[in-house]
Amino acid sequence: MLEGTPAPRNVFVPFRLGQVLGEPGHVAQQQAVLRAALGAVTGVADSGGLLELPFRWKRGPYPVPIGIAERPSASIDAQRDLDGVGR
Amino acid sequence: MTRWWNQLLSRVYGWVPALSERAGRRLRRVDQVPLPRLAPLATPLSASRVGIVTAGGVHLAADPPFDMQDPEGDGSFRVIPGDVAVDTLRITHDYYDHRAADEDVNCVFPIERLRELVAGGDVGAVAPRHVGLMGHLSGRQIERLLGRGTDAITKLFATDGVDLVLTVPG
């Protein structure tokens, strides 16, 4: 769909439909994806261009999120990511 | 097709991503919309005002839901205030599995994450208004969105002095 109807600048993450920013409650993951997507504004050279962001589902590491504490389950996932567990 | 069938199909697509990829490849390319020349970001991201357009069917609970009866979809859009409380948002969209986004709307409308990036200094400001619409449009509903809809959305963001708009699919 993205290739058929591109925006001026496009980024791709191999995440599930309906969870393109990341898992529900996974603040660190969502922040990282959003930060990278916005940062890509200077990385796409041609209109309709596409950048594949270097994220994998449930894989990290993700930096400690800004601002608020995560929900318990997401905190566990984030800590696993930071520790490299399950890779 | 009935709503339950569309909702079931959206879950099957979630279980078997290859099916959704195949369906995506069969979609008609919207050739009548020429890609614009890229406009360089005039200010650094850390000083930019950022808006969001989500195609995930997100709207205020107090606003009318998107029309799920028309098989061509609903080409209208809803305005979402930048300071919205996320528990006042709803998702009306039968064509993707939005159970995760029902639990955390940031999955398709990352308004809280954007606020946090502003607080952390990565982004300059959250736009005062954002836009919710639904993807999976066809026929007359695409024309509806591409006609008056996109003009109105563009003017909305221009009026608010928005530097950059993030568009998120459902």
Q: Which residues of chain B have pLDDT under 70?
A: 1, 14-15, 17, 19-33
Contact residues, B window 25-54, toward A, CB-based 8 Å cutoff:
25, 27-30, 33, 35-39, 41, 45, 50
Structure letter (DSSP) for residue B87: G
Neighbours of B44 (CB within 10 A): 11
Residues A55-59 have a mean pLDDT of 78
Residue B76 Cα distances to A69, B7, B133, B151, angstroms = 36, 21, 7, 12
- Total-model pTM: 0.82
Q: What is the pLDDT of residue A32?
A: 94
Residue A85: which pLDDT band, with cuts at 50, 70 and 90?
very low
Contact A27 B50 (CB under 8 A): no
CA distance B99 to B109: 14
CA distance B110 to B106: 4
Contact residues, A window 1-40, toward B, CB-based 8 Å cutoff:
1-2, 4-9, 16-25, 27, 30-31, 34-35, 37-39
Question: Has residue A6 got a pLDDT over 50?
Answer: yes
CA distance B162 to B158: 6
Neighbours of A6 (CB within 10 A): 17
CA distance A58 to A81: 8
Q: Is the ipTM of this complex over 0.90?
A: no
CA distance B58 to B55: 7
Bridge partners of A49, per DSSP, are A9
Question: Has residue A46 got a pLDDT over 70?
Answer: yes
Q: What is the pLDDT of residue B54?
A: 97
Residues A58-71 have a mean pLDDT of 68
Q: What is the pLDDT of residue A71?
A: 47
